[in-house]
Amino acid sequence: MPTFYAPDAAPGHATYLLPEDESKHAVRVLRLAIGDAVTLVDGRGTCYAATVTEANPKRCNLRILKEEVIAPRPTYTHVAVAPTKNLDRMEWLVEKAVEVGIERLTFLRCARSERRDLKLERLEKIAVSALKQSGQAWLPQLDELTDFEDFIAEIDPATTFIAHLEAGERTALAQVIGTAPRCCVLIGPEGDFTPAEIDLALDRGVRPVTLGASRLRTETAALAAVFTAQVVREL
C-alpha cells in the first residue's frame, strides 16, 4: 500500500490534502484512483489509514478512516559522525540508518573534517523516503554541523562512546552497550579524530570502543554502530 509523509496531519481530522508534489506522484506515477487505499505517516508516531476521494495531480484529496499511534522504541540510538567530502556517502548513511532504526544523527565538524559545511534539506528528504519505505512511524532527528568541542560539552558521558583508531585499550561496542536504553556513538572523519579530540572526550568520561578488527570507512562505521546497537538490544 502506498505510504505518504504527512507532517502536518493532525489526529481527529477527517480529510487530508496531499501537497502538489505528492499529489502528482500519487496520480501520475502510482496511478491512484478514487477509492484506492493509502497510508499516511506524520513522523511523530501516528499512522493514518485513508482512501482517495479526489485523484487530481495538483490536489489529491484523502479521507482518513483510522488512526494508529505507534509507541517509540524503548531504546534510543544516537550517532554523531563527521560527514565525508563526498556527500553521496552521507546520503547512503542516512538512508540505511533510518531503515535499520536510529533516533538521532548529529553531524560533527572535527579538526580533520573534509567537509566544513552541510545543508540538511537533501538529507532530510532521504530520511523521509527511507521512513516510508521501511514502514516506520518516527522520523529521526537530523542535527546541523556541530563543532566537536561544543558537542562534547553537552553529551552525557555515561551513555557516550567514541570509536577511534589510536593505540590504547578499547572495548567492543557490543559488549558495553548491553541493555542500556540510550547510547551515543562518536564516529570521526576519514583521518580519524585527533589525539587532542580523543583526550577531550576521554577526559569527559566518554568510553573508547572498537567496531571490529577491520578499518572501516566513516559511513560504514556509523552504520555498523547503528546496527550493533539494534542487534545487541534485540538479543
**Domains, the chain:** 3-69 (2.40.240.20), 76-234 (3.40.1280.10)
Task: Tell me what pLDDT residue 233 has.
Answer: 80
Using pLDDT thresholds of 50, 70 and 90, give the confidence band for residue 103. Answer: very high
Asked whether the predicted pLDDT for residue 234 surpasses 80, the reply is: no
Q: What is the pLDDT of residues 128-173, one digit of tens each?
A: 999 999 999 999 999 999 999 999 999 999 999 999 988 888 999 9
Left, alpha or beta for 18 (phi > 0: left; psi -120 to 50: alpha)? beta
Specify the pTM: 0.91
CB 104 within 8 A of CB 231: no
Task: Tell me what pLDDT residue 127 has.
Answer: 97
% of the chain residues with pLDDT over 90: 82
Task: Kindly state the helix (H) or strand (E) to which residue 104 belongs, with its residue range.
Answer: strand 104-109
Mean pLDDT confidence for 163-192: 89
Distances (CA, A) of 34 to 1, 5, 62, 63: 14, 19, 9, 10
DSSP state of 29: I
Using pLDDT thresholds of 50, 70 and 90, give the confidence band for residue 180. Answer: confident
CB 186 within 8 A of CB 206: yes
CB 60 within 8 A of CB 28: no
Q: What is the pLDDT of residues 5-63, one digit of tens each?
A: 999 998 888 999 999 999 999 999 999 999 999 999 999 999 999 999 999 999 999 99
CB 100 within 8 A of CB 220: no
Asked whether the predicted pLDDT for residue 193 surpasses 80, the reply is: yes
Residue type, 20: E
